[in-house]
Amino acid sequence: MRPPSVSDVARRAGVSKATAARVLGGYGRVSAAIHAAVSAAAAEIGYRPNELARSMTTGRSDTIGIVVGDIANPFFAVAVHAMSQVLRAEGFGVLLANSAESLAEEKAAIDTLLGRRVDGMIVSPADMRESSHLRAIVDSGVPLVQFDRCAAGLAVAGVTADDRDVAAEVTHMLIRRGHRRIAYFTACETDSGRFSDLEEIGTGSVRERIAGFLAAGEGLEDTALEVVVGAVGAKRAQSLATEVLSRGAEAPTAMIASDSTIGLGLYTAARAAGIAIPQALSLVTFHDADWTAIAHPGITVISQPARRLGEEAARMLIRQIQTGDGTCAHRVVPCRIIPRGSVGDGPVS
Amino acid sequence: MRPPSVSDVARRAGVSKATAARVLGGYGRVSAAIHAAVSAAAAEIGYRPNELARSMTTGRSDTIGIVVGDIANPFFAVAVHAMSQVLRAEGFGVLLANSAESLAEEKAAIDTLLGRRVDGMIVSPADMRESSHLRAIVDSGVPLVQFDRCAAGLAVAGVTADDRDVAAEVTHMLIRRGHRRIAYFTACETDSGRFSDLEEIGTGSVRERIAGFLAAGEGLEDTALEVVVGAVGAKRAQSLATEVLSRGAEAPTAMIASDSTIGLGLYTAARAAGIAIPQALSLVTFHDADWTAIAHPGITVISQPARRLGEEAARMLIRQIQTGDGTCAHRVVPCRIIPRGSVGDGPVS
DNA sequence: TACATGAAAGAGACCGGTCTCTTTTTGTGG
DNA sequence: CCACAAAAAGAGACCGGTCTCTTTCATGTA
């Protein structure tokens, strides 16, 4: 049994399909009497407009595609929430896709979304080094806003946090407090399993942060900044941290975690090794997760404006759709450093 | 500029629309030569099938609608992640809608999704007392699986945790350890601002938990079980807990939090009031959040199988879609109690 | 050579809306 | 009372696919 269509309503109301469509679609002019009759007939048989068919002719689907790395990650969850609120208020539905931070899956997701004729897309590119699939979006004439990360050499709007600046700021702070050996932990992987070049880091936001981190130490002779890659998940982060901390006098006196899951791993590793925070080790993590305020001591965090980033991206996209304006504005939303107590003075202070 | 269509490809390849469609749609029989020619033409002009048009004739949209209370809530975030993984593997896209736990928004969301002709829906009903809109889904012939909560008197499939049982179990455990005054904190609101009747609780899962909680104390004369409502957000939970704890000798010696946000509020309240956990107050919270393992002492939690619940719901829906089978199976996935150290002996032990 | 057979290609209806163009009805003014 | 404009209703094309039905053409066999 197919659901009732305009024709069914028309037949029941004894009018032409065109007239019924005018009433049901809310366009054109119809006499009050007929309007009432059609509305009544529609209610009786439970008519519900087929938005697919409507999209077919209007060319608009009133749907926005969102592709993020991992919806279970609180940062993305909050951002997606914010986006969908803003979009819903404007009458858009949200088609959500997870890329699992895999380029292949991201491409596949974008393909499906383009096939579904979304009116716009918000994508957080898994790898800033590959942007052909993003270009395909633009070439299809579909408005696009990059989220949290931006692909290299692509003139497309984007909303990001001030990753590089805030990373540099926090690193400077650690150096100022006397730290000379600082390690940055990221979940990103490299072919060799070690970090040697910024180019190896595909995730745009992380690359920015590491760039800021390294820039902060540039020119300082006695300062050793180290980047540890492959810290995927708390478990792995913990074991990597344990390894690094076991270097004794050569071990870093301060650590920066690229996300709160890693931060948790580092914190756990320090506790397990009996290393006192902040006396023997300073710790800073990105993302203001619940546990950071509860920990002893409280963990100094870089709070990411997930909600504002999401809202901003959605608004930017809507503007682009409504005005048809393709200017590739880049909006940077500042992070906030929340000092809590996990940062102490280093050996040289 | 409209994107290229089957006709465009056909024209370029010098064949009929029907033939081109056969190649592009992957059905019927076509000679190898023509197949190659059409494929080449499609690639040249960048043809991408219009899934909307396809849905139009096939009647399937390959899209599943998911309506949850709050995607920013880790429980739902993880569940939605699991669902979309399972669904994607089966070729379905996901249209996500947030109800903000509001019945009105839930109805609106369902309406839009039905209009978009989704092939199935997974909904976590905001209010188990109202199910007319859910019935509308079933009446439209759209397969539906309820998630985490089930509406009353509705013969529709559902996947839930064993909320009632686990709540009873944890309450029994507290009673066994000597607690006589136990408070259960929920974010649900009632008209009066106080709890007097189970009927006032709209959220199915919460009602189940409270039912189990109260059942565990039934018949025990000296046991006072209390339900505190309106604990929305950590802040509010904290102030409500502070109030309850200030009752001195009349204050509960054990508390159960209906989610980890509330749990955090309770924990913070206890610390702020200088009440020792578990010596003076025992604490249990639903959801195995990060912070519960980090806290001092670790918080005993009721771990919800969010991932499994999500997978199960998705699989159940797929089965229903593929077999057309409308049996309203109810699947209950057990929660796991993770003892950590926040539960101590009560005064009567 | 003639004819049955079946594969390959084409023609055109259909899905459920929108929208343009045409026809009919209504209402107004001379 | 009729002309004429404007409003209301109808007819039918169209969007981009799928799919049925028909036609064409090559192959095999008697």
Nucleic strand D under 7 Å from the C-beta of B29: no
Closest CA to B326 of B139, B84, B73: B139
**Confidence band (pLDDT; 50, 70, 90) for B348?**
confident
pLDDT tens digits, one per residue of B151-180: 988 999 999 999 999 999 999 999 999 999
Search chain B and give the residue with CA nearest A76. B72
**Confidence band (pLDDT; 50, 70, 90) for A324?**
confident
CB contact under 8 A, B81 and A72: yes
CATH T-level fold of B62-161+306-334 = Rossmann fold (3.40.50)
CB contact under 8 A, A95 and B96: yes
Nucleic strand D under 7 Å from the C-beta of A38: no
Whole-number Å distance, CA B16 to C1' C9?
Answer: 8
- 3-state SS class at A49: coil
State the Cα–Cα distance between residues B181 and B256, nearest whole angstrom: 11
**CB-CB neighbors (< 8 A) of A70 in chain B:** 81
CATH number at B163-305 = 3.40.50.2300
State the Cα–Cα distance between residues B186 and B42, nearest whole angstrom: 57
CB contact under 8 A, A289 and B294: no
Question: Does residue A187 surpass a pLDDT of 80?
Answer: yes
Rg of chain A over all Cα atoms, to the nearest angstrom = 26
Q: State how far residue B214 is from chain A, nearest Cα, in angstroms.
A: 30
- 3-state SS class at A159: strand
Q: Provide the terminal-to-terminal Cα distance of chain A, rounded to the nearest Å.
A: 78
Amino acid at A170: V
- 3-state SS class at B180: coil
Domain map of chain A by residue range?
A: 6-49, 62-161+306-334, 163-304
CB contact under 8 A, A291 and B296: no
Nearest-10 crossing angle of helices A32-45, A6-13:
120
Question: Does residue B327 surpass a pLDDT of 80?
Answer: no
Nucleic strand D under 7 Å from the C-beta of B322: no
Question: Does residue B31 surpass a pLDDT of 80?
Answer: yes
Whole-number Å distance, CA B30 to C1' C5?
Answer: 18
Question: Does residue A161 surpass a pLDDT of 80?
Answer: yes
State the Cα–Cα distance between residues A60 and A124, nearest whole angstrom: 23
Search chain A and give the residue with CA nearest B118. A52
A194 in Cβ contact with A204 (< 8 Å): no
Given B52, B94, B117, which is nearest A117 (Cβ)?
A: B52
Residue A225, token pair as written in the block: 């900044």
Whole-number Å distance, CA B21 to C1' D17?
Answer: 8
pLDDT tens digits, one per residue of A36-92: 999 999 999 999 999 999 999 999 999 999 999 999 999 999 999 999 999 999 999
Task: Identify whether B49 is preceded by a cis peptide bond (ω within 30 of 0).
Answer: no
Average pLDDT, chain B: 95
Considering only residues 9-38 of protein chain B, which place a Cβ less than 7 A from any atom of strand C?
A: 15-19, 21, 29-31, 33-34
| pLDDT at residue A327, as a whole number | 76
Question: Does residue A158 surpass a pLDDT of 90?
Answer: yes
State the Cα–Cα distance between residues B6 and A62, nearest whole angstrom: 24
Same fold, A62-161+306-334 and A163-304: yes
Question: Does residue B349 surpass a pLDDT of 80?
Answer: no
Whole-number Å distance, CA A10 to C1' D2?
Answer: 35
Question: Does residue A335 surpass a pLDDT of 80?
Answer: yes
Burial of A92 (0-12, 13-18, 19+ CB in 10 A): buried
Residues in contact with B50: Cβ distance below 8 Å, sequence separation at least 6, in sequence order:
A115, A117, B3, B5
A346 in Cβ contact with A282 (< 8 Å): yes
Element (H, E) at B99: none
Nearest nt to the CA of B37 via C1' is: C9
Nucleotides of C under 7 A from a protein CB: 7-12, 14-20
State the Cα–Cα distance between residues A338 and B102, nearest whole angstrom: 33
Search chain A and give the residue with CA nearest B53. A56
| pLDDT at residue B131, as a whole number | 95
Q: State how far residue A60 is from chain B, nearest Cα, in angstroms.
A: 11
State the Cα–Cα distance between residues A251 and A212, nearest whole angstrom: 22
Nucleotides of D under 7 A from a protein CB: 7-12, 14-20
Question: Does residue B326 surpass a pLDDT of 80?
Answer: no
| pLDDT at residue A349, as a whole number | 65
**Confidence band (pLDDT; 50, 70, 90) for B324?**
confident
Whole-number Å distance, CA A284 to C1' D27?
Answer: 78
| pLDDT at residue B303, as a whole number | 98
CB contact under 8 A, B71 and A61: no
Nucleic strand D under 7 Å from the C-beta of B60: no
Nearest nt to the CA of B4 via C1' is: D16
pLDDT tens digits, one per residue of B203-237: 999 999 999 999 999 999 899 999 999 999 999 99
pLDDT tens digits, one per residue of B55-87: 999 999 999 999 999 999 999 999 999 999 999
CA distances from A176 to A215, A326, B94 (A): 14, 43, 49
Nearest nt to the CA of A19 via C1' is: D9
pLDDT tens digits, one per residue of B82-102: 999 999 999 999 999 999 999
pLDDT tens digits, one per residue of A264-304: 999 999 999 999 999 999 999 999 999 999 999 999 999 99
pLDDT tens digits, one per residue of A223-269: 999 999 999 999 999 999 999 999 989 999 999 999 999 999 999 99
CB contact under 8 A, B115 and A49: yes
Task: Identify whether B125 is preceded by a cis peptide bond (ω within 30 of 0).
Answer: no
Given B55, B56, B291, which is nearest A291 (Cβ)?
A: B291
| pLDDT at residue A325, as a whole number | 79
Nucleic strand D under 7 Å from the C-beta of B53: yes
pLDDT tens digits, one per residue of B239-298: 999 999 999 899 999 999 999 999 999 999 999 999 999 999 999 999 999 999 999 999
| pLDDT at residue A309, as a whole number | 98
CB contact under 8 A, A52 and B139: no
Question: Does residue A204 surpass a pLDDT of 70?
Answer: yes
Residue with tokens 């980033």: A309
Count CB-CB contacts under 10 A for residue A176.
11
State the Cα–Cα distance between residues B85 and B267, nearest whole angstrom: 35
Given B52, B61, B115, which is nearest A56 (Cβ)?
A: B52
Superfamily of domain covering A163-304: Response regulator (3.40.50.2300)
pLDDT tens digits, one per residue of B142-155: 999 999 999 988 99
**CB-CB neighbors (< 8 A) of B296 in chain A:** 296
**Residues above pLDDT 90, as percent of chain B:** 95
| pLDDT at residue A326, as a whole number | 72
Beta strand segments in chain B, E: 63-68, 93-98, 120-123, 144-147, 158-161, 181-185, 224-228, 254-257, 282-286, 300-303, 330-333, 336-338
